[in-house]
Amino acid sequence: MHLPRASVFLLAAAACAEAVRTMIPKTSFNSQSDFDADWNYNYPWGTDHNGGARMNKSQVKFSDGMLTLTAKKVTGQPDATHGGQKIKINYLSGAIGAKEHFNVSRGGGYDFSGEFKATTTKGTWPAFWLTAVDGWPPEIDMAEWKGSGKISFNTFNTSSVLSWKDVTYSNPDQFHSIKCEIRDVNQRDVSVKFYMDGSLVTTQVGGNFFGKPMYLIINLQMEGSSGSPGPSSDTLYQVRNLEVLSYNP
């Protein structure tokens, strides 16, 4: 059967459109029901991690497509434990984790994107990242701010084998667009492209990341690697137009 050229182009376009699936839509922060469809509160493993903030549902707010995480100073909290070390909890803050797990399939991958307003004040540690469901690594820090006036883009192959890129983060009081493109390279490794405000910042490689499920996390940690003491006033971390697209077959 011979198809007109226009029909061939339409069929090709339809095939491409079918190859892209929206895993998390930009509407996931519109309402409680939208949020509940795609997200859970806290880290996937609980309320504590590697800094001086304990995650609490009360510190997570969303409406009209905007997520707001707020860290507030507190006292009287029991210590957290991480890596065998006690960590003093000085804040209650917010974290959310996607209900979906993300693993790159043969010839596929994902786009993670959104607009972020993140502080770079000493003692504040906002992040937008992927980490292993089973063991560790992989880990991809799609955007991380550690109180230094910079934004970091990191890929951890092991604790000592990693790629990173730190760049100056101007105008932290404004929203900046962040995008991370992750693609299969050879059914073993994945390429990771990091964009900020529409420009490619760096390209890294995740060794042996192919097929390994990862959590997606948005959180506002405090102190820890971002220094201490942190601020005494409330700290806000805001996200809008968050979207995840899948190119997996």
Is 115 noted as a catalytic residue in this protein? no
Handedness of CA 129, 130, 132, 136 (dihedral sign): negative
Is 139 noted as a catalytic residue in this protein? yes
- Other C-beta atoms closer than 10 Å to the C-beta of 186 total 9
The CA–CA distances, whole Å, from 242 to 49, 159, 208 equal: 23, 29, 27
Residue of 139, 181, 223, 243 marked catalytic: 139
Q: Is it true that the peptide bond before 138 is cis, omega within 30 degrees of 0?
A: yes
Residue of 18, 100, 115, 144 marked catalytic: 144
CA–CA dist 55, 41 (Å, integer): 9
The CA–CA distances, whole Å, from 47 to 11, 89, 91, 121, 130 equal: 48, 11, 12, 23, 17
| SS3 state of residue 224 | helix
Q: What are the tokens at 56?
A: 């609490």
Beta carbons of 117 and 174 less than 8 angstroms apart: yes
Query: Catalytic residues, which ones?
Result: 139, 144
